[in-house]
Structure formats: structure tokens, C-alpha cells
Amino acid sequence: MIPLTYAQELLDLVERHAPGRTTGDRFVVERSFRITGVIEAEPLRLALGDVVARHEALRSVREPGGSRVEPPGPVSLDGYADPFPASDLPALRARLAGDRLDLAAHHSAADPWSVAVIVRDVATAYHARLRGDRLSPKVMQYAEIAADDRSPQWQRRIAEVLPSWRTRLAGLDAVDRPGCGPVTGAYAELPFRLGDGLWQAVVSSARRARSTPFTVLLSAYAATLYPAGLQAEALLPVVTPGRIPSEWDTVGFLLNVLTMRVPIPASDDPPELARRLDAACRQAYADDIPLVPVLGEVPELLTVLAGTRAAPAFRFVARPAMTPPIVQPLWTARPAGPETPPSVVLGCPLLFTLHPGGSGSVTYDVGAYSADRVGELVSAYLRRLPSFTGAA
């Protein structure tokens, strides 16, 4: 039995509050990819099996107190749309339909980052099979991350920074936040784009301020949700990958949430708000630890993340390129369509997501937020962002 990671303990916490959400047969992360070139079904099936052999998380079952790893098994190219419970191994399915490759993994075994790793490894394994070779099994396993979570060094670090989180998040119940309606568990998505000029303005502004595009984008989000003169502070849950560089090639569920509190200037002052938010981000990331221990210290934080008093969450997706090192590949895969957002996992009623380049989306619970309200939020954000880039 392998110990649970803190991310898996977060899944267990979600499961206790919403039975069936994280073990159910449609708790699945999916992504479609457009294929350029020729791909054959049999080598693809073998390559999928090699990926399952490489990543233990795709053949593990979460149980009370730990997880169990099973031997590798084949991946079928049939039955993609069948019910997909967490106990049905391997936790990976695929469907080849013309020039489109659909991948699905049970979300308890993989997060959106993992899907990018999986499709890269499938391409590498496919071309290796054609050469009569196999995909290397050497990669950091999810079990190693679980061991690191329980290491004395990490436990000491968590104990060191928990008091600062307790102080930072004290009195959360008194913080005003945008209200929403009752949560239904049914989600919709509204895509949007910043436009090339606005994205470049964000990048240039971040460079001038010795900051990051993430901070500029989040500052405008804070100003949109918490207007100066009406709100004293902003409450900003930020969904992160929960990974360090050594874990970039690992498949597994590793999401985390950092919640920031930022004082709002008394008058509208974008540079000052950006400075305050930059300082809050630097401190939060310096004290980055898993959400579960923080919830143990600050249980009222749960109301910030889920329910009718949840604060709208934010995510900036900045992943390294997952390009397979293949010379003259027979086929390549490009994402086609949206990925499964973490709001569905965590129960956030609203998650505002942006990607490098300026594409974005809002995922929202249809009972908590109306389509009109979400559209107004996006419009207000796009009007507000230029004032944080110097382009207004």
C-alpha cells in the first residue's frame, strides 16, 4: 500500500462533502488532439499500453489510507464513452476517429497537466514501437511524490509556514466577496481571447515592472471583482499545478490552491494594486504548501473555495512545452478543444482561466452564475485589463 499524496487527501475531502464526485464513473479528464500525419491503430494500442506501464498512477486504485498499484494492462480503443469508475484499470482510454485522437483518464489518476504528458509519451512510444523499441519506464512515479509528501524535511517545512498562513487567513468570514446562487454541480464554459495586442501589452508591462504576466492578469481580475472604494480587500483563490520541475513528467493528480488576501487601495490606483498583489504572490509562492494542511489550520477556508460564499477562483496555465524528441515524426498531435478545468474537481463555482498568448475561458456552475453574469464579468475584465498594462 502506497501512502496518499496531499492532493489525494484533497480528493478524499471533496468526496466526503460530495460522495461520488471523485470516484464516480464520469469523473474524467479529457482532451482531443488533431493528428497531422498517418497513425495506425495497432501500434497506437501498443504505445498506449507502454504509457500505462511507464506511469504507475494510471494503474493505481485509491483506497482508504493509501493506493494500490496493479500490473500494466492493455488500453482499448473501443468503449471510450462507457462508464469509467475509478476502480476500472487502466485509468486511461483512447479513441481514434479519423484525424482526431481523444484521450480520457480518470481524474483521480491524472490532472490536465498529466494529459499533456500522456499525449507526448504516446507519440514517443508509438515511434519507438515502429523502430522495434520501447518507451523508457524511467520517470518519477506518483508514489515517490507521496513519499516526499511524508518526508521529515517536507513536514518540517509545512510546520514552519503554517503559522504564516493561519495569520494571513485569519478572519476570512468577515471578508466580503461576490455572492452566487446555489451550486448544482453542472458546469458551462465561456471562452474568450485578449487579442494579440493586449497580450503583448501584458507581457511588456510585466517586464517593465520586473514582475510576471500572471501578476498583471491577476491584478486586473482583482480590480474587476473588488472595485476600489467598494471593497477593502480582495480574496483570490489561485489554482496551481502543484508541481515542482522534477515532477513535470509525472502523471498523477497534483492540483493545489493558494488563497491570497490583498488590500485594495482606497481610490482606483492600478500600479499600487499591482505592487500589492505582486508582494502577496511572492509571499504565497514562497510559502507554497499543500492545501490540506492549511485547511486543517483554517477550516473556514473551505467556504472560500466551495458553496454559495465561494470566491471566484483564478488560474494561469503556464506549462513547459510537451514536445516529443522525435526526428521526422510520422504524426504530430495538437490540442483540439478545451481541457477539463479543475473547477469541476474542486467544486469552485467559478474559475477564470488564462493561457500564455491570451486565450481564456470561464468555467462556472450554471446554478451559481447565469450566462449573462459571466459574460458581463468577461467584458468588465477586458475593459479593466488595459489600465494595468499602460495601454489604457
pLDDT 10s digits, 8-23: 999 888 888 778 778 8
**165 occurs within a structural domain:** no
pLDDT in tens, 306-320: 888 899 999 998 877
Q: What is the pLDDT of residue 34?
A: 92
Does position 345 have pLDDT exceeding 70, yes or no?
no
Describe the strand order of the beta sheet including 313-316 as a list of residue ranges. 187-193, 359-365, 350-354, 313-316, 233-240, 256-263
- Confidence at 289, pLDDT banded by 50, 70, 90: very high
- Domain containing residue 181: CATH number: 3.30.559.30
Q: What is the pLDDT of residue 80?
A: 87
Residue range 323-342: mean pLDDT, rounded: 76
Average pLDDT of every residue of the chain: 91
pLDDT in tens, 64-122: 888 999 999 999 898 888 888 888 999 999 999 989 999 999 999 999 899 999 999 99
Question: Are 186 and 129 within one domain?
Answer: no
**β-bridge pairing 66-69 and 187-193:** unpaired
Question: Are 181 and 131 within one domain?
Answer: no
Question: Are 228 and 374 within one domain?
Answer: yes
DSSP code string of 347-384: T-SEEEEE-TTSEEEEEEETTTS-HHHHHHHHHHHHHH
**158 occurs within a structural domain:** no
Q: What is the pLDDT of residue 343?
A: 65
The count of C-alpha atoms lying within 13 angstroms of the C-alpha of 377, restricted to the half-sphere facing its C-beta, is 25
- Confidence at 197, pLDDT banded by 50, 70, 90: very high
- Confidence at 223, pLDDT banded by 50, 70, 90: very high
Q: Percent of the chain at pLDDT above 90?
A: 70
- Confidence at 392, pLDDT banded by 50, 70, 90: low
Question: Are 352 and 248 within one domain?
Answer: yes
134: containing domain: 6-143
Question: Are 139 and 177 within one domain?
Answer: no
Domain tally, the chain: 2
Phi, psi of 109 (to 5 degrees): -110, -15
- Confidence at 391, pLDDT banded by 50, 70, 90: low
Question: Are 239 and 111 within one domain?
Answer: no
Does position 139 have pLDDT exceeding 90, yes or no?
yes
**129 occurs within a structural domain:** yes
Question: Are 131 and 242 within one domain?
Answer: no
Question: Are 321 and 359 within one domain?
Answer: yes
Q: What is the pLDDT of residue 306?
A: 84
Does position 342 have pLDDT exceeding 90, yes or no?
no
Does position 169 have pLDDT exceeding 90, yes or no?
yes
Question: Are 306 and 347 within one domain?
Answer: yes
CA 311/CA 343 separation, integer angstroms = 12
**148 occurs within a structural domain:** no
**208 occurs within a structural domain:** yes
Select the highest-mean-pLDDT range: 54-58, 112-116, 228-232. 54-58
**150 occurs within a structural domain:** no
- Domain containing residue 108: CATH number: 3.30.559.10
Q: What is the pLDDT of residue 142?
A: 93
Question: Are 120 and 206 within one domain?
Answer: no
**162 occurs within a structural domain:** no
Does position 367 have pLDDT exceeding 70, yes or no?
yes
CB atoms inside a 10 Å sphere around CB 70: 13
Question: Are 192 and 44 within one domain?
Answer: no
The count of C-alpha atoms lying within 13 angstroms of the C-alpha of 83, restricted to the half-sphere facing its C-beta, is 5
What distance lies between CA 208 and its chain's CA centroid?
28
**225 occurs within a structural domain:** yes
More confident residue, 84 or 380: 380
DSSP code string of 207-224: HHTT--HHHHHHHHHHHH
Q: Percent of the chain at pLDDT above 70?
A: 97
Q: What type of residue sits at position 297?
A: E
Question: Are 119 and 221 within one domain?
Answer: no
Residue range 281-287: mean pLDDT, rounded: 95
